[in-house]
Structure 1
Amino acid sequence: MLDIVIEARQASLGPGMEVKRILPFRQRRMVGPFIFMDHAGPVKVNPSASKNIDVLPHPHIGLSTVSYLFGGQVTHRDSLGVEQVIKPGEVNWMTAGKGIAHSERFEDPAVLAGGELEMLQTWVALPEKDEESDPSFINYKSEILPVYTDKGVWMRLIAGDAFGLGNTVKTHSPLFYLHASIQQGARFGLPKEHPERAVYIAKGELEVSGRSYRAGQMLVFTPGVDPILVAKEASTLMLLGGEPLGERFIWWNFVSSRKERIEQAKADWKSGKIILPPNDNQEFVPLPEDKFKPAGSPPPQALS
């Protein structure tokens, strides 16, 4: 029934910004097209140190970054000239394609001081035909994201299709991504439309086939199996998955079906071919000097 249980690992993005890293995992690098997942927060930082946790401009290729907040707010700036504040329940969907750079700034000291900031960052690998597409960015407001409810169950469809719902968030391959709030004692299942499916427990505790699982674990289920999940306490979950895309290489913030394309991206970032955000171009994250490692052993990534 369960292919694997992934334990979130602690990763540091800088002073005061510790995250739980779920994907990639050495024994299970992807779930459907999802190849990366970080859970940050709740973050509480002295306002005087808030600058230290900003994610400076950095590059991506071959993927879409998906930002979703439980609390707080973050300012996104990218090399297309976009500047967007994302708030809880909204979706920032940035497709890197052939190359983009962006930053994530935490510019409200009150949010940080109050411990309100909590966010999920995922990367969705692109099909080979879209890996060299033009970069793009769209912010989707919470009002346009459909909600599924059942007894003790509330779920917001962030992207894709699930439980008969669909939305206008533009994706490049079949997938689903849901934010779920489950009351204690509620029983629920997974969407049946997709072969690869997983549940990340952000808060709370679940029972599956008589065994309990806790916050910080991702449960990856066997294709074709339809488990019944029971909330042992009030729980916040992220449900995700979709159609697998095949092997992908991942190094730093780059994803590609071709190893040589990642080498080119490294050269492009060092040479300035991937331009910085025009309204955030005074600093950036330099390319790590690590030599290329086998897939599944990337150096620390940026948050998104």
Structure 2
Amino acid sequence: MKTRTIDTIAYGQPMDMGGFPIRQALPSTKADMLDPFLLLHHANIKVPQHVDVKNAGVGPHPHRGFSPVTFIFKGGVHHRDSRGNSHIVYEGGTQWMNAGMGVIHSERPPANIHELGSTQELIQLWINTPAANKMDAPAYIPVTKEDTPVVRSADGLTSIQVVAGELNGVKGPITPQTSINMFTIHIKKGGTYFIPFASSHNAFIYALEGNIHINEQSALAAFYMASFNKDGEGVQITATEDSVLLMGTGEPLNEPVVSHGPFVMNNQTQLLEAFRDYQMGKMGVLIEE
């Protein structure tokens, strides 16, 4: 199979999101979005010992029209939402939420975060929802590390969690609304692996730590995201250091995107309706307990 060439490499710029330090690799100065992927935030924080975990993390806020997906690399996340869900997922797990017509949720550290080392490292990825499904009922899907299948290389240097989609015949536990693959990759120094995917998909790799070479040429260091041209059927990764990566590929929706804050719709009228419905309480109420 022909390997894809790199389109852009973007740095995850440090930002403050209401007192929550993150790195934003998408959107960047090089790309507003990578259809259907809208936003990528990487957080790696120490939860202060003196702060009640009920007041740490991200408090209640609404979403409509896309899927905010949280990949947990260290610690854990306690998700609560206005549909009555309350669930903790720990390291190696994923929280996949289809916001649909609207939901209010919070993402706090679990009560035992300090027993786990006080560190929370996660990526939140926003995945656009097709216009036909934006007003579907919301859905929340928690997946543990134990429930996530792993593809391993013969030499044992590469292990790839298949969260959604498929890799080499192994299917992930999440069935997205459109054709999407999501992989979390741990690859030790000297490891190499070819990852195939559909020629029609957009694709990216974000490095949380380490350093890799893509197609034995371009280097990708920690906190950088590579996106690819549509000129092949996969990418080859080779680790020059022990590395941790998030990789996503997806069929473009090719639909108009109008967004503001927590809502992603197809036109301005729908966006105004989202704000109105939230203010009228139509997305429910979240009382954290």
TM-score by length of 1: 0.85
Question: What is the 5 A alignment of 1:46-61?
Answer: 46-50=48-52, 53-61=56-64
Deviation at 1:89, TM superposition (A): 1.8
CA-based RMSD of the aligned residues comes to 2.1
Residue by residue over 1:73-115, the C-alpha shift from the partner in whole angstroms, topping out at 9 and shown as x without a partner, is 2211101011111111222111111111101122436538934
1:174 aligned onto 2:179: yes
Question: Is this contact kept in 2: 1:44–1:112, CA < 8 A?
Answer: no
Structure 1 residue aligned with 2:263: 254
| Counterpart Cα distance in 1 of 2:220 and 2:9 | 9
Residue pairs, 1:1-304, within 5 angstroms = 1-15=5-19, 17-41=20-44, 43-50=45-52, 53-108=56-111, 110-111=113-114, 114-150=117-153, 151=155, 152-193=157-198, 195-208=201-214, 209-225=216-232, 226-246=234-254, 247-277=256-286, 279-280=287-288
Deviations along 1:263-298, one digit per CA (max 9) or x if unpaired, are 111222233232222x329xxxxxxxxxxxxxxxxx
SS of equivalent residue, structure 1 residue 190? strand
**Cα distance change, pair 144–115 in 1 and its aligned pair in 2 (3 A):** closer
Unaligned runs of 5+ in 1: 282-304
Structure 2 contact 96–140 (Cα < 8 Å) conserved = yes
Q: AA paired with 2:92?
A: G
What is the distance in 2 between the residues matched to 1:109 and 1:143? Answer: 19
TM-fit CA distance, 1:190: 2.7
Which residue type is aligned with residue 134 of structure 2? E
Change (3 A) 1:187 1:113: closer
Q: Which amino acid aligns with 1:228?
A: Q
Q: Secondary structure of 2:241's partner?
A: strand
Q: Structure 1's 18 and 80: CA in aligned 2 closer, same or farther, altered over 3 A?
A: same
Amino acid at match of 1:223: K
Counterpart of 1:45, as a letter, is: V
Identical positions, percent: 26
- 3-state SS of the aligned residue for 1:189? strand
**How many residues are treated as equivalent by the alignment?**
278
* Cα distance in 1, alignment partners of residues 115 and 133 from structure 2: 37
1:130-185 CA distances to partner (integer Å, 9 max, x unpaired)? 11101111212323321111132100011122332213313100011100001111
Distance 1:254 1:91, change over 3 A: same
**8 Å contact kept, 2:47–2:119:** no
How far did 1:214 drift? 0.8
Aligned CA distance change for structure 1 residues 222 and 57 (closer, same or farther; 3 Å):
same
Q: Secondary structure at the match of 1:170?
A: coil
Provide the secondary structure at the position in 2 that maps to 1:228.
Answer: strand
Q: Secondary structure at the match of 1:49?
A: coil
